[in-house]
Amino acid sequence: MPKIITLPGDGIGPEVTAAAVQVLREVAPDVTTEEHLIGGIAYDREGQPFPDSTRAALKDADAVLLGTVGGAQDSDWNKLERKLRPESGLLALRQALGCYANLRPVRVQPGLEHLSPLKAELARGVDILIVRELLGGVYFDQDRKIEGSSAYNTMRYTTPEVERVARVAFESAQQRGGRLTSVDKANVLEVSELWRRDVQALHDRQYPGVQLNHEYVDSVAMLIVSNPSRYDVIVTENLFGDILSDLAAVIPGSLGLMPSASLGDGPGLYEPIHGSAPDIAGKAIANPAAAIMSVGMLLRHSLHRNDAADRVDHAVSLALRSHPTRDLGGQADTATFTRAVMDALSVPAT
């Protein structure tokens, strides 16, 4: 019997997670869920953003479903020393799970092209998967310091780190359109030279059937919004992936439409990419679509139930057209949208 650890977290996290769990239980009634603390609420109750009790619970998990962490910019949490802030709990969670590959699908839902800031003809049919390295690079390297009026951080990668995330990207491309774009800045950064060399070598050894293209990050930042349909799968390192995936997230029209999966050595971690939205927390109007679509990714990648995942994705697509939430220009609240998804689960895909 699969066991899913749920970490609702802060802000709107508990609201969207509850909606996602409702859908999960409908399509996978044999799954058990167990709730634990993460983020700011974990600090308030246990003095740590990633408590030992949560860490221990992960040992028996088949997957982890996360809500959101953090508060408003003026939150007391942001006045804590860095290791006690909610976001530090998230980084510790990713490390504990060994999640080195973050998958962010960027898909414009049919019929919702008008919500995109891009022209409808550019947004129509966009379906990109961004694979971001998640445990290395400048965010995690310990060679960092502030020294008076100067400071430095170090970006470092090894061949095994590059190869393991590139392998995820190549295999994803094989299951999609067969095209992979590797993003770097090899014209000025030695670490990017290593990245490009290792991705190309892995392609030549194991994935010659995938069409591989290397592009600079500044070029991709322009093209992903001016010609997004040129991309199928994108793979890149942590910092570039953070920026590009957030940039691409605006294409569907709302962060509420952006799920994610973080995969690696242990149970997969699934979460919507939107923030905790403290300004609407507790008002029952948050869009749970991304959290529900994260359940779809959980079913697909961790439980290997593709039929159930397809049901969830199809139901969300129908609900978005029939009951759009307020961030999408509609009037549906969290409960209304969730009911629409539940009702649509029985509608077969055409």
265 is a catalytic site residue: no
204 is a catalytic site residue: no
The one catalytic residue in 62, 127, 141, 246 is 246
The one catalytic residue in 143, 204, 218, 265 is 218
The position carrying tokens 């009911």 is 339
Q: Report the Cα–Cα distance between both ends of the chain, in Å, rounded.
A: 31
The one catalytic residue in 242, 313, 327, 333 is 242
- What is the amino acid identity at position 37? L
74 is a catalytic site residue: no
333 is a catalytic site residue: no
The one catalytic residue in 10, 100, 185, 313 is 185
343 is a catalytic site residue: no
The one catalytic residue in 139, 216, 310, 343 is 139
What is the distance between the alpha carbons of residues 300 and 240, in angstroms, rounded to a whole number?
A: 26
Catalytic residue set: 139, 185, 218, 242, 246
